[in-house]
Structure 1
Amino acid sequence: MSGYAKTAILLAGLTALFIVIGGALGGESGALVALLVAGGMNLFAWWTSDKVVLRMAGARPIGPADAPRLYALTEQLARRAGLPMPALYVIDEEQPNAFATGRDPANAAVAVNAGLLRHLSEEEVAGVIAHELAHIRNRDTLIMTVTATIAGAISMLAQFGFLFRGGDSRNNPFGPIGLILMLILAPLAAMLVQMAISRSREYEADRVGAEICGNPRWLASALVTLQNAARQIENHHAEANPALAHMFIINPLSGARMDNLFSTHPSTENRVRALLELAARRDGDGGIAPRPAPPRRAGGSVPSSGWR
């Protein structure tokens, strides 16, 4: 099953959960109020989140003169992906990592930790940038905003369920005990589905990113390097703002090894395995897509072995 199909099924399940819980706790009026309030909050967040997130992460904008090789590589990969050149930012953190943000491709930004350029080869950096461009092309910020809207509405229903009906549970089909359990379990269920959608989007961004950079092995190698570094090097901005953790390509807060229900990131081992399987299938079909040529800087060429 494709990542898009999984995301559609999970979104449908989240919507069904909202309808059932909304009808049980707040009736039609309560469900509508919760959806409108949550939608308004998330629409505002979606419109302004890029600036807020970049500020929270301590990111500063860079241009061609600041990082010519990174800028040239990103420009080349964006062209291969059929995207406009995103704004580039750097975060003064030694832990190698990166994330993308922005409400649409025309207003997108890619932020990389400074350590990304010091710890990864150029091919690995290409894989990471391609993954973030895949998030932009797939409009994952929009998908996660819709998900957050529905999950937020469910949480609001759980918090204010008694207010919508004045605390009267006599007409509730689940009874008073069932109502209390729903108030506790509904936000948890919504959170689990939201995290499952986040993991699904990461797998899809890996697949599309591999197509953009031209070699799944580049991204697979990058993920291993990033995961190992995340276990050893602290990301101070992410530790200070844990809400940012889900945005990074690798969880910056821990080295979780399992695809567990409470993780926003898939297991790195599973992601690498999927990428290597994709590479093997492409090799069997007669080879992978053409690789992007290493960008050249004034006065010389970039060695293909890396830029450390």
Structure 2
Amino acid sequence: MFVMRAVVAVALLVGVYVLVLVVLAAIVLVDVLFFVNGRPIGFIWFTVIGGMLAFALLSGLFTLAGSSDDEVRGELVGEQDEPELWALVHRLSAEVGTRPPDRIFIVPEANAAVSQRTRLLGLVASTRRMYVGAPLLASMTERQLSFVLAHELGHYGNRDTRLIGVVVAGRVALIRMLTKLNNRSWYHVAVAMMFVSYAKLYFAVTASLSRQQEFAADATATRIAGTEAAVSSLQELPVVEAAWSLFHDKHFRPAWEAGFLPTTIFEAFAGLRGSPELRAHLDAVRQNPPQRQVSQYDSHPPLPERIAAVTALAVPSRGADRPAGALLADNGAVMDKTLVSTLVEELGVKRRVDWATLSHTAVRATRVDQSRRLVRVGGGSLGAVLDALDDGKLTSLLRTDARPGTATSAPRVRREFARGLLIAELTALVELTLADQNRARWESDWLGTTTFHGPDLGTEIEQAADDRGSTAGLRAALAGLSLDQAPTR
């Protein structure tokens, strides 16, 4: 049954070529019929439209049959750069029983993968690549990482049948073809729509084969790393992904956009992983990982099924264990290069600071963005905004696009909603004024919760933004500060 499905899948791949040839023949036939029946207008129109469709069909076919894995991502590390990581990969390749990858890349993703340049839907293979996620190196033990990498190498070493490699390569090729067609002209999209149903049939036929291959790769990796490492690795992958998303979205990206970088990115991420305030959050992810929507086309089995399968193998662990980051000669440098690989030319102009400074700077950048509209309409500074409020120009400072829910809300409700937005913008501007003159600072914990260490002027700000209010209280609280400085990034 297993081999029969693989044969059917390969036949479906060959059928793509047949389908294209049939459609091309039909286009030519219709064009000829227009010509021989003396319909020049139809002949001209169909020649143009049919030519476009034929071009899209052929470009899709060349994409399907052409080389995969043309895009290089991540930081390439040679054997001379990271000898211990390469030694581990060579050992795992030997135990799996497959040729090691030709290149290893460290990538800014909480994942690992292998790829192989192929032609003719996987029938012709050449360069192998392995991608190792920097977050895994910063979070896992060497034994856990060994399981992850051995699993990926197991895709190369599956000896069940040579057809399986063609099946998997075919899935990748079809996805690549549909993606490229959908991102081009209307006639490319039309051809892509024609192939969608065919691709769904192929994915449905091959889904069980792909899932069986995942189980086989898990079993191979478990025999090498042991059941304990296998189970803990599968449980830890969603945790690393959650921690990495939090680190990147809440800490690294805002800091980068503000022109700053942590002194050591690798240690910063490790600090996030070990922080007390994050422990409960990550433990919850570990115990209840996010449930993926599994469709009939999914190539991966559900995580609980994979964990149950490797647990049943009961393979004891071998040798000592240590942090996976110890495999790297300079983990800080690798993390830097990996994270900023697409912006490496800007790395030199980023200022290196500790995390307390970085936290403050990142929040400051968000406050500048929050107050940008108010500064623009209010005259360029906090002082100008307060002058406008004193002059009775509150209405001119309110957001004209403020909508509390529906466009039919009462005018008074809309005005109160807009006033609430104004208070938030004014608060951000006041905090900026205090912070930029060393009267306050911000601090964010690893979960992204921000604390403002400065005077609480909420009452004074609400009074200033009230219809019959006054800015006197706020001005008094800010006495001694310059209010005419426009905040900038």
Q: Same fold by TM-score, threshold 0.5 exceeded?
A: yes
Task: Classify the secondary structure of the residue corresponding to 2:114.
Answer: strand
Match of 1:268 among 296, 299, 303: 303
Distance 2:81 2:195 in 1: 52
Residue by residue over 1:104-138, the C-alpha shift from the partner in whole angstroms, topping out at 9 and shown as x without a partner, is 78621211011111111111011011111111223
- Counterpart position of 1:121: 141
Pairing 1:225-264 to 2, within 5 Å after superposition:
225-234=236-245, 255-264=290-299
User: Matched residues in 1 for 2:107 and 2:8: separation?
Assistant: 40
Asked if 1:81 corresponds to 2:101, the answer is: no
**Shift in Å at residue 275 of structure 1?**
0.9
State which of 84, 88, 100 in structure 1 corresponds to 2:114. 100
After superposition, residues 166-205 of structure 1 pair within 5 angstroms as 185-205=197-217
Higher relative contact order at CA 8 Å, sep ≥6: structure 1 or structure 2? 1
Deviation at 1:145, TM superposition (A): 2.4
Distance 1:231 1:154, change over 3 A: closer
**Normalising by the residue count of structure 1, what TM-score does the alignment of the two structures yield?**
0.59
Structure whose alpha-carbon radius of gyration is higher: 2
Q: Which runs of 5+ in 2 are unaligned?
A: 27-53, 119-124, 182-186, 249-288, 326-489
Aligned length: 239
Tell me the percent identity. Answer: 21
Structure 1 position 69, deviation (Å): 2.5
For the pair 1:69 / 2:104, whether they are aligned, the reply is no
Q: Distance in 2 between matches of 1:28 and 1:207?
A: 45
SS in 2 for 1:112: strand
Provide the C-alpha distance between the structure 1 equivalents of 2:144 and 2:219, rounded to a whole number of angstroms.
15
CA offsets, 1:136-195, max 9 Å, x none?
Answer: 223765332234567899999xx99x99xxxxxxxxxxxxxxxx9x98754433344455
Q: Do structure 1's residue 207 and structure 2's residue 222 form an aligned pair?
A: no
Write the letter of the residue equivalent to 1:265.
Answer: H
Deviation at 1:204, TM superposition (A): 2.3
Higher mean C-alpha displacement, 118-127 vs 142-151: 142-151
> Quick one: distance in 2 between partners of 1:84 and 1:187?
31
Gaps of 5+ in 1: 164-179, 237-253, 294-302
Distance 1:224 1:6, change over 3 A: farther
- In 2 relative to 1, CA 216–258 (structure 1 residues): closer, same or farther, beyond 3 Å? farther
SS of match in other structure, 1:208? helix
Q: Does 1:42 align with 2:58?
A: no
Residues in 2 aligned to 1:28 and 1:306: alpha-carbon distance in whole angstroms: 57
Structure 2 distance, partners of 1:145, 1:96, is 23
C-alpha contact (below 8 Å) 2:141/2:324 kept by paired residues: yes
**Alpha-carbon separation, structure 1, partners of 2:67 and 2:213:** 20
Contact 2:77 2:106 in 1 (8 A): no
Partner residue in 1 for 2:444: none
Looking at structure 2, the residues matched to 36 and 97 of structure 1 have their Cα atoms a distance apart, in angstroms, of: 35
Q: TM-score, normalised by structure 2?
A: 0.39
Residues of 2 paired with 1:36 and 1:9: CA distance?
28
Counterparts of 2:107 and 2:128 in 1: how far apart (Å)? 20
Look up the match of 1:219: 230
The separation in 1 between residues aligned to 2:245 and 2:238, in whole angstroms, is 12
Structure 1, residues 72-113: CA drift from partner, whole Å, max 9, x if none? 2111111222333323433342x4310001147862121101
User: What is the CA–CA distance in structure 1 between the aligned matches of 2:200 and 2:98, rounded to whole Å?
Assistant: 37
Q: Does the 8 Å contact 1:151/1:190 carry over to 2?
A: no
Cα RMSD (Å): 4.5
Contact 1:151/1:194 (8 A) holds in 2: no
Contact 2:112 2:131 (8 Å CA) reproduced: yes
Contact 1:35 1:153 in 2 (8 A): no
In 2, are the aligned partners of 1:124 and 1:218 still within 8 Å (CA)?
Answer: yes
Deviations 1:258-289 (A, max 9, x none): 54325343211111111111x23xx6xxxx6x
For 1:189-248, what per-residue CA distance to the aligned partner results, in whole angstroms no more than 9, with x for missing partners?
A: 33444555433332222123333x252432232111112222343398xxxxxxxxxxxx
Aligned partner letter, 1:86 = P
2: distance between equivalents of 1:42 and 1:184?
14
Partner of 1:296: none
Letter in 2 for 1:226: L
